[in-house]
Structure formats: C-alpha cells, structure tokens
C-alpha cells in the first residue's frame, strides 16, 4: 500500500509471476516461430505445439495484453516488434535462454524456492529437481549441448574484452580450466600465434571443445583433456585461466579449485581469475548474484572477495587487469 492506502501498482507489476511465465511458455513452445511460419490461429498453434487449445489461448491472449503478440478481430495472432525477439533465429538468443526445457530456463524455475535458499544459504535447484544443477545437466546430453552453446555465446562477448587485456602469448602455454566449448581458448590462440593451449573440462563438454578447436584449425596448438577441476590439473603451464568459473561455487569449493590451479602452476606459473565485477571492480550484478544462490548456493564476487579466496588458496595477487565490466585477477603461488 502507498501512504494513502492505495496499492502500489508498479510494485505489483515487479512482483508479478504471470507475465514472465507466459513469456517463457511461449518461448518453450516456439510460438513466435509458429507465427512467423504462417500459423495464426490458436487451433493451428495448439496442434503444432501439441497442447490444449483453450489453455494456450489463455496464454496468447495475455501476451497480447503484455504487448508481445497482436490479435485481430478474427482471432488471428501476429508478432509485435517485441515478440519477434522470441524467434529461435533472433540474434539475441533469448528464446533459448527462456526455454523452460533448456538448461537455463529450467534452472530459473528454482526461484520458486528462493525463500529456502535465503534461509539456508544453499541452492534451491535441488529442491525442485531432486539433484544438483550439474548432476541434472549431465543426465541430459541435449541440455548439456544447449548449455555449452549458450555459454559459448556469452564467452564470445567476454572474449572481446579479455583478449586485448593481457599479453597472453608471453605465457607460452595456457590451460583454460572449465573452458566449456573452447570459444575463449580459440580466441586467445587466434590472437597469439605462438601460444599453446589446453582445455580442461568435463567429458560431456570437451567433445564440443574439440569440434570448436578443430573447426578453427587450431588442433596443432591445442589439446583437450577431460576431467574434474577438483582433481589434479595438467601441470607446468605458464597460465591457468578460470573464466566465469568461481561464481558457480561456494567459497569452500572455489578455494579448492584455486588450490588445484596453484599446485599445477608450480613456482613459475600464473593463475588468472576472470569474473564480471562491474566497472569499479566491486559491483557485480545483483540479479546474477541471486541466480548463483538459487542455482548453486554460490554468489557473485568483487575483486576484494576474489582476492581473499586466492589468498586462502595460497596465491598472491600480482595485479588486476580491467577489461570493461570484467576484472582479470593475476595471481602467483605464494
């Protein structure tokens, strides 16, 4: 209520769950693609999506109210400019992110148990799905592939700032720890003609990394190794990269990962922690921080918190390289 007893309509809109879920259902059912292909009636789209006609009509009518779809007097639906963003081919990749049956959209549903996560400090994802995010992802090869693809898109954007932020070629050999589908490593190797690279990640993921590096013509300067970064890492490289890795883990696990990097680096190597910290180094995104809590029981961290983790792992901070909204912490074994 406002001071005069009226309900705050703006706050009610912010708290509304109906519209976000209706949009996510439309994204999952590929409604925008159905409309773009020529289907315009709810009967046609319900048949294509194999869902109940009346229930779908309720969703579509609400999306008209929300400005995502248009509807004429004859009951034919159309896409508004906003609705076109839900097409699978849209450059934003938004449809895949919102897809409830995809890895990220499925994870977002764990916000229904956010209160439990706040009370305990533990992930709410297992309360909804019965297992951890990583266990759930690994159980479905299709979701794993879609997750790796989405992370690759994100890292492509990060690489534009990361590549010029440090003379990576001076390291001789880098190990991209938890390097996903190989997008960042490929960008570094393209930029530094003398650099050698190793990608280290889970068995389900390294298959995609091998294809990325092969397609880029980088097989001779790279290798791909499957394993867990809680176990010993390939030793004696010049640099060990942790790009958008530590924010997925609580302090105890993140420190363990850093210790593995420290041990592998030996006396002459460096460990690089790359995270999105905001332009001042201490302002990570608040929405992403809550995602890390709900999904993993983890959190976003600024430079100070990351530096403290590094110290606990036996690393000494050498310097911090700024890269747009990213911070690249360079650390050496103490």
Residues recognised as catalytic: 247
Give the residue carrying structure tokens 């449809």: 95
Cβ proximity of 294 and 114 under 8 Å: yes
Helix H or strand E segment including 175: strand 173-177
Neighbour count for residue 88 (Cβ, 10 Å): 14
Of 292, 329, 304, the closest CA to residue 133 belongs to 292
Cα–Cα distance, 78 to 75 (Å, whole number): 10
Question: Measured between alpha carbons, how far apart are the two ends of the chain, in Å?
Answer: 56
Cβ proximity of 88 and 96 under 8 Å: yes
Of 226, 222, 221, the closest CA to residue 200 belongs to 226
- State CA 240 to chain mean position distance: 20
């Amino acid at each position: 209520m406002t001071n005069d007893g009226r309900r705050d309509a703006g706050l009610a809109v912010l708290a509304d769950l109906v519209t976000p879920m209706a949009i996510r259902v439309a994204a999952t059912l590929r409604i925008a693609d159905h409309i773009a292909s020529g289907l315009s009636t709810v009967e046609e789209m319900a048949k294509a999506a194999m869902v109940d006609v009346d229930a779908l009509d309720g969703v579509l009518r609400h999306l008209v109210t929300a400005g995502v779809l248009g509807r004429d007097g004859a009951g034919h639906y159309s896409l508004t400019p906003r609705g076109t963003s839900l097409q699978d081919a849209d450059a934003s990749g938004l449809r895949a992110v919102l897809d409830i049956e995809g890895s990220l959209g499925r994870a977002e549903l764990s916000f229904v148990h956010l209160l439990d996560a706040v009370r305990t400090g533990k992930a709410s994802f297992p309360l909804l799905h019965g297992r951890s995010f990583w266990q759930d992802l690994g159980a479905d090869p299709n979701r794993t592939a879609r997750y790796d693809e989405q992370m690759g898109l994100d890292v492509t954007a990060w690489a534009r700032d990361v590549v010029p932020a440090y003379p990576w070629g001076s390291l001789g050999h880098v190990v991209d720890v938890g390097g996903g589908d190989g997008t960042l490593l490929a960008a570094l190797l393209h930029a530094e003609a003398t650099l050698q690279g190793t990608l280290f990640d889970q068995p389900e993921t390294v298959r995609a990394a091998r294809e990325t590096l092969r397609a880029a013509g980088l097989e001779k300067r790279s290798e791909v190794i499957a394993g867990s970064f809680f176990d010993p890492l390939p030793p004696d490289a010049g640099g060990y990269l942790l790009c958008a890795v530590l924010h997925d883990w609580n302090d105890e696990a993140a420190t363990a990962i850093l210790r593995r990097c420290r041990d592998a680096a030996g006396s002459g190597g460096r460990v690089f922690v790359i995270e999105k910290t905001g332009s001042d180094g201490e302002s990570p995104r608040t929405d992403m921080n809550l995602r890390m809590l709900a999904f993993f029981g983890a959190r976003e961290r600024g430079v100070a918190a990351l530096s403290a983790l590094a110290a606990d792992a036996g690393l000494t901070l050498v310097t911090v390289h700024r890269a747009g909204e990213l911070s690249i912490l360079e650390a050496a074994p103490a």
